[in-house]
Amino acid sequence: MAKETKYTEDNIRSLDWKEHIRMRPGMYIGKLGDGTAPDDGIYILIKEVLDNCIDEFVMGAGKTIEITLREKSVTIRDYGRGIPLGKVVDVVSKMNTGGKYDSKAFKKSVGLNGVGTKAVNALSSAFKVQSIRDGKTKIAEFSKGELLIESDIETSSLRRGTKVTFIADDEIFHNYKFRNEYIIKMIQNYVYLNTGLTIVFNGEKYFSKNGLKDLLENNIPEESQLFPIVHLKEEDIEIALTYSKAQYSEEYYSFVNGQHTTQGGTHLNAFKEAIVKTIRDFFGKNYDTSDIRKSIVAAISIKVMEPVFESQTKTKLGSTEMGGDLPTVRTFIHDFIKHRFDNFLHKNPDITEKIQKKILQAEKERKELSGIRKLARDRAKKASLHNKKLRDCRIHLNDMKKENRLDTSIFITEGDSASGSITKSRNVNTQAVFSLKGKPLNSYGLTKKIVYENEEFNLLQAALNIEDSIEDLRYNNIIIATDADVDGMHIRLLLITFFLQFFPEVIKEGHLYILETPLFRVRDKQKTHYCYSETEKQQAINSLRGKPEITRFKGLGEISPNEFKHFIGKEMRLAPVMLDKDKPIPEMLEFYMGKNTPNRQKFIIENLKVELDLIEE
């Protein structure tokens, strides 16, 4: 029997605001991370400050925002009204303090709970805020939420507005590094949703004339569009949509009050329902939902009074009401789609003909695949039951809630020794392992039928749970873990081809990574260094006093489980797979996986890591 733990008054303590944020950062910014993923905490810190600047723009104050990134120092400057000078310190250091509780001043704001900049302050080793208004200015400086310097109010000739500079605390965010691509994508979403706003990032300007239409055009090349993007807009709602010729799954971008709701919510559910109902009513046919929505690419943005989100990071809308005199979110969106999209369909018979052909083709393919899909599902269930391919993590074994996906990863690896090392080294709560049987098939140019007929692809699709929609993806991070040699590089390309061919949104939404593992171990009796390049190896040799022992790891299976756990734990190095938006997916697949074997072999030999033209780090 366990010894009873004493529970007295001494066990009760009250944390002040900064202690609570630093002790439980996940409650305020989601996961921490090192900057490898777009939803890592360091980007949420930027977003929290930016949201305040956007709110100023929405209220008609300040059309330009400037962001400067210098290594780990971020400066964000707006030209809004400026924080009232007597409240500068309170606004960034007192919980539940802000100007957004007055819904008249901030009618459709994102940050309503007065937490955002306090979290940035508490989680930064250096935090400086300056407000300029009415020809005067005030500055306050903090470290980890502690006030260091508070200036007097002084006269100033600077333009009005607010300037925040912070350095994320590396005690909280270990070995972090900002990736410009993620920041740029965030900035682009802000300007798409706020036409007339200019954001300058490290000297480069971002601006949008056509809102969500620009968003889709930037994400789906014209040659891949079934028809020109439909763009409909009213005061509190905007939509854009088309169908893709180049992908099978549906893809959505959803926003509320300028916030990218990556997990959707009530507004996205209503939008999907409304599109299906409107198309059924227009054609007078009870088409299957999956046939109507197959290959659709769409974006929706709505504005809600005092929105309720399901988490502090505001990735999923929970509100059912629009606020004010407006109807429910669902009714509002259904009425808009029914009226505006139905009118569009009646006025554009050439487009409606293309939509109907697309639906009928999807229906034909679905029926042809129905028998194969049933057999494939049965095989997948049987394989999973006997644990032949997938060693799942406990979160999914015990709890299938979608919100718990955030902390989960799955390693895709090849060979018994490599999968064995990872399986023994992994965090069984959050990390799963999928074992490939040899090199996967080159799926370039093949149809979706092959995903069900090929055992490896079928089981991988089932493990990821992406047969019907990317929204059902079971793991936030899909990590390709192969040897750092020619064969390993080839397997990486084959897997990337699989995702590009059938599930490109997995890459577009930042879920696919390459695991970086050390090439060398350099050690003496006192110290061991794991080196990921020749340069790191030489630096390690130079740093050791004794004669070093140098080991070259030829494959993942050569790294012992005790060592491997360091490379897939907190210090894990991941290289995100990113699409080059200037190169259409079919064109990239043709070069890398088409009938150009000599070029591909040369490419593989010269690029054993992830420096692909289609992949930008």
List, as one string, the DSSP characters of 335-366: HHIIIIIHHHHHH-HHHHHHHHHHHHHHHHHH
**pLDDT tens digits, one per residue of 447-489:** 888 888 888 888 898 889 888 777 788 898 999 998 877 788 8
How much is the mean pLDDT over the chain?
84
Asked if pLDDT for residue 600 goes beyond 70, the answer is no
Q: Which amino acid is at 240?
A: A
Q: Which of 6-10, 74-78, 322-326, 490-494 has the lowest mean pLDDT?
A: 6-10
d(CA 100, CA 54): 13
pLDDT mean over 185-198:
93
Percent of the chain surpassing pLDDT 70: 84
pTM value?
0.81
pLDDT for 72-95, tens place per residue? Answer: 999 999 999 999 999 999 999 887
Rounded to an integer, the average pLDDT of 545-572 is: 83
Tokens for 60, please give them: 């008609």
CB 334 within 8 A of CB 280: no
pLDDT digits (tens, 9 = 90+) for 536-549: 899 999 888 888 89
Angle (CA) 331-334-338 rounded to 5° is: 140
Q: What is the pLDDT of residue 316?
A: 80
Domains of the chain, each with CATH number or no CATH: 17-206 (3.30.565.10), 212-364 (3.30.230.10), 387-517+553-606 (3.40.50.670)
- The pLDDT, as a whole number, for residue 105 is 45
> Looking up tokens 């009232």, which residue turns up?
84
Burial of 209 (0-12, 13-18, 19+ CB in 10 A): exposed
* Confidence label for 402 from pLDDT (cuts 50, 70 and 90): low
Q: In this structure, is the dihedral angle defined by the CA atoms of residues 496, 588, 177 and 312, taken in order, positive or negative?
A: negative
Question: Strand, helix or coil at 598?
Answer: helix
What pLDDT is attached to residue 615?
36
Residue 307 contacts residue 112 (beta carbons within 8 Å): yes
Q: How far apart are CA 513 and CA 577, in angstroms?
A: 5
212 Cβ contact list (under 8 Å, min separation 6): 192, 193, 231, 238, 239, 240, 253, 299, 300, 301
Region 317-344: what's the mean pLDDT?
A: 87
Exposed / middle / buried, residue 351 (Cβ in 10 Å: 0-12, 13-18, 19+): middle
Please state which of the ranges 21-30, 106-115, 482-491 shows the lowest mean pLDDT. Answer: 106-115
The region of weakest confidence among 50-64, 111-125, 255-269 is 111-125
**pLDDT above 90: percentage of residues in the chain:** 39
- Contact (CB, 8 A) for 390 and 459: yes
**512-536 pLDDT per residue, tens:** 999 988 888 898 888 888 888 888 8
